[in-house]
Amino acid sequence: MTPRDASFALDGRRIEAAWWGSGPEEAPSLVLLHEGLGSVALWRDFPAKLAEATGFGVFAYSRFGYGQSDSVKLPRPLTYMQDEAQHLLGRVLDAAGIRHCVLVGHSDGASIALIYAGSFQDPRMRGIALLAPHVMVEPFCISEIERARDRWNTTDLRARMAKYHRAPDAAFLGWNGAWLDPGFASALELQPEIAHVRVPILVVQGEADPYGTLEHLRIIERESYCPVDSLVLPGIGHSPHLEAPGPTLDAMADFAGRIFRDHEPVMPKQEK
């Protein structure tokens, strides 16, 4: 399945975006929010597989500073995930013409989905699917991010990232610098947002994730007012959609299918 370019301008700045499958006027949409070093391209073949598995449209965009979107000034604020969720994501959904959707976030993108769902009761949003979400900071996660900084300084990581990001320094240093700031732990305490989510939640977590333990899932289960479906994948790391695509796609197709089958109004027919 070939993606369709859907890039647009927001406040005069370019945001890279793409669609797979049906558009928002034809079917519900799954909106992909990428990880801390991700982009449209780094979802790889997952969007096409997700569109095929669900029959729904899939929309992905690269946040400012990532992929082929316009860059950002450094350093990023410690609240960069809150800023994305509370000031930009809704406008992105507007620009994409989203009508009814499930937000599908990976890593940082999962945290952004949680913050958005806990901050706004957007009637377009019918559920959130979270792949390896962060809801707090764990010491061993910081150790892994320190090792990433060492790889940036001593290997060809910058050159490899430049294949996917027009501004690799903004992408890496913005993410890495925020996470390694001593004040970041207090900025990433998402229990209040979790408690205010009013849509169903799916969490997919790898048991061998080097960036987070199962405690993130347990916090979501404990603090959530709404139903939580969970899938724990033994031996899988931080990218379950790429490392274990079969069970991840099955879980997401079942979750989104139940939401839109049980709660979604019939899409209006388009005039020919």
Using a 10 angstrom Cβ sphere, with 0-12 exposed, 13-18 middle and 19 or more buried, the burial of residue 125 is buried
For 195-235, the pLDDT digits (tens) are: 999 999 999 999 999 999 999 999 999 999 999 999 999 99
What residue spans of 74-138 are helical by DSSP H?
Answer: 80-83, 89-96, 108-119
Q: Which domain holds residue 245?
A: 4-261
Is residue 271 situated within a structural domain?
no
Does residue 270 belong to any structural domain of this protein?
Answer: no
Judge contact between 136 and 186, C-beta under 8 A. Answer: no
State the pLDDT at residue 262: 65
Asked if residue 232 is part of any domain, the answer here is yes
Percent of the chain at pLDDT > 90 equals 95
- CA dist., res. 135 & res. 115, Å (int): 10
Average model confidence (pLDDT) for the chain?
Answer: 95
Q: Tell me, what CATH number does 203's domain have?
A: 3.40.50.1820
19 within some domain: yes
Contact of 86 with 116, CB cutoff 8 Å? yes
pLDDT tens column, 96-105: 999 999 999 9
- For residue 268, say if its preceding peptide bond is cis, omega within 30 degrees of 0: no
Count of domains forming the chain: 1
pLDDT at 194: 98
In this predicted structure, the answer to whether residue 263 has a pLDDT above a threshold of 90 is no
pLDDT at 261: 85
Give domain status of residue 269, yes or no: no
**Would you say 260 and 129 are in contact if contact means Cβ atoms under 8 Å apart?**
no
Q: What is the pTM of this model?
A: 0.95
Is 268 a domain residue?
no
Q: What's the rounded mean pLDDT across residues 66-74?
A: 97
Integer Cα distance of 49 and 53 in angstroms: 6
